Amino acid sequence: MDINEYLSTKKKIIDTALDYYLPKAHEYPRVIHEAMRYGVFSGGKRIRAILLLAAGEAVGGKEKELLQPASAIELIHAYSLIHDDLPAIDDDDFRRGKPSCHKKFNEAMAILAGDALLTYAFYLLSKIKYPPELTIKVFEEISYAVGTFGMIGGQVVDIESEDKELDVPTLEYIHTHKTGALICAAVKAGCILGGGTLQQTHSLNQYGAHIGLAFQIVDDLLDMEEGKKGKKRKSDLVKKKLTYPAVYGIESSKKQVQMLIEEALSAIKDFNHKAEPLRQIANFIGERGY
């Protein structure tokens, strides 16, 4: 399969679903719905949502039924990016070449847009048409992944670690929680809703954990390359950020990525051809840093 064509096709499907589920920009109060949509449709490959679809389909789930929870995952991701860019956190004026939400609107509206997206994501999850026990399990997985024991916890430790001496355990905690937790939750949610067995869920949890960490290490590598080109983010100019290349060096970081990708692929080695998109996505993540 052509992974780029696959990702492009799935992104269009997810974007269509997001447009359908989100309140229209003209709905009152208009400004908050405009800000929400601005944050959601600011670019990005929709990797987390696609992973939920791919994991669900790998165990027999149907794309049409998985689109609503996949959209919810993407709303949560968009909320996290809007809040990351705020002056009190990373203080970035641009996101993917466009003004950040707080620059396009204002800081108060960006905070509220992020809050609204997170809240609306759980509203969407509450409406999915699955047996109650599966819905509750997915609620549990996702809410845990984005809370203080997951994404928010990683963000807190990241903030507390700025301008301090590099510490490897802290770095790994930040990456596995701030970025990896939501990626892993997306994979597990897809497996649960797709009807996966306990063994399949365990295997996909391992897969998600490995690609989640690999994804962030690759981001660190790409950020370093951007820095060499004089394209450092505003936040990087004033804050000393913990990164894998800074601790391990570029070559060791690349080797770590490849090891994680191999472990992710090994975790799903017993899955049939329906898991091929998951295998290709893992390789795609690994190759981004080269």
Question: What secondary structure does DSSP assign to 47-116, as a single string?
Answer: HHHHHHHHHHHHTT--HHHHHHHHHHHHHHHHHHHHHHTSTTTT--SEETTEE-HHHHS-HHHHHHHHHH
At residue 238, the pLDDT reads 46
- Provide the token pair at 211: 């690609």
Domain containing residue 113: CATH number: 1.10.600.10
At residue 232, the pLDDT reads 56
Full domain range(s) for residue 122: 3-287
Using an 8 Å Cβ cutoff, are 210 and 279 in contact? no
Give this prediction's pTM: 0.93
- Provide the token pair at 112: 């509220």
Residue 40 to residue 54: CA distance in whole angstroms: 21
Q: Residue 117: count other Cβ atoms within 10 Å of its Cβ.
A: 26
Residue 57 to residue 281: CA distance in whole angstroms: 14
Q: Mark out the alpha helices in 148-197 (DSSP H runs).
A: 151-160, 168-174, 180-194
Using an 8 Å Cβ cutoff, are 157 and 201 in contact? no
Q: DSSP code of 164?
A: S
- Provide the token pair at 45: 């490959």
Place of tokens 């996101």: 95
Angle between helices 47-58 and 198-228 (to 10 degrees): 160
Report the half-sphere exposure of 31 (CA within 13 A, side-chain side): 11
What's the full length of the chain, in residues?
A: 290
What single-letter amino acid sits at 106? N
CA quadruple 19, 25, 27, 33: dihedral, nearest 10: 90
Residue 239 to residue 222: CA distance in whole angstroms: 18
Structural domain tally of the chain?
A: 1
Helix-, strand-, coil-residue percentages of the chain, each rounded to 5: 75, 0, 25
At residue 231, the pLDDT reads 52
Show pLDDT as tens, one digit a residue, over the chain (290 residues): 899 999 999 999 999 999 999 999 999 999 999 999 999 998 889 999 999 999 999 999 999 999 999 999 999 999 999 999 999 999 999 998 899 999 999 999 999 999 999 999 999 999 999 999 999 999 999 999 999 999 999 999 999 888 787 678 888 999 999 999 999 999 999 999 999 999 999 999 999 999 999 999 999 898 887 655 545 555 554 456 778 888 888 999 999 999 999 999 999 999 999 999 999 999 999 987 55
At residue 136, the pLDDT reads 96
